[in-house]
Structure 1
Amino acid sequence: MTGRIHRAAERGFAPWKNGGGETAEVICHPAGAGFEDFQWRISTAKVGGSGPFSVFPGIDRVLTVLEGGAMLLRFEDGSVIETDPGSGPHPFDGGLACEAELPGTGLLDLNLMVRAPLRGVVLQPGEAVAGAAVLGAYLFAREDRAEVGLGRYDLVELDGAPEAVPAGCLLILILEE
């Protein structure tokens, strides 16, 4: 690994405004930016029950369920995303009103939020890394990866995008449009 490691054990969760869950920021750019002025943000969230998602106009989001139950995301435009720990990353427009429905237990998810003109992608093992201009590359460990110094849900900053996504990890890329 090439850069700073953001350890899962060092994250603190804060409650959502609507009380439906908790969030923990992993990394944000620029550092210390709030919801009104970040360029991109990576976080994890504990979703405890059904309810509305916060609306973020001008923000593209990618959500990946890491553990727990399934979740249905119902958007104001009529689209629906069905997600669970095995379904992979799901991009969506953060400016659309969205209602989450948890048919079973709560869950933990990974969130990438990116403000235009930047773009963000989350890749799984087996997916190719695009040839776009990469501004930032981050490896998120979905499982313990002791051989590379990462524990479960740790994130490491990379010096560039690897050619392939390692097993048990997600690759988060911040791209120039």
Structure 2
Amino acid sequence: MLSADEAADLIEAIATRQDRAAFARLFNHFAPRMKAFIMRGGADAEAAQEVAQEALIMVWRKAASFDRTRASATTWLYTIARNKRIDLLRRNNRPAIDVEDWLTFFAPEDADADKSVLAGQTYTRVKELLSGLSPDQLLVIEKAFFEDKTHTAIAEELKLPLGTVKSRIRLALGRLRDALEKDES
């Protein structure tokens, strides 16, 4: 059993020296407790295990932000776990965006007949072009333009290098632009 001071000392050892032994001790003590805490919040065992691991990885990364004068180690750790659990709930409750749904952004609400026909044609063409992208390109376009995420956030979420995300977006936009330019000529 770790005391509050021992847990705080371990976090500070991680922050100052990236002490793996301190992290292992903290992990072994808190991982099962965090998992149980998350399961009491309604998550299944597998999801709770994942959230507990993500929370403790965040502890490794953010240990330097711990301040024992502002909160106890336990409070700080469980706050991270709670926030990770909320992130999981948001991910699971977010409806999947279908290409069909995206295209409603292109249709004008109030337009005369000519504009409505043109909008319908544009809708159909953009739908065709988007479906012609690779799944990887379509995913990053969705996240960048329809979920309004930064390239950095997309890279972190998809666990990809930032350069890969930027390349996929650039290539997808280039393909869309080229196809639309061919349509105009």
Higher relative contact order (CA 8 A, sep 6+): 1
Question: Which structure has greater strand proportion?
Answer: 1
Question: Which structure has greater helix proportion?
Answer: 2
Q: Per the shorter chain, which TM-score range?
A: under 0.3
Question: What's the TM-score, normalizing by structure 1?
Answer: 0.22
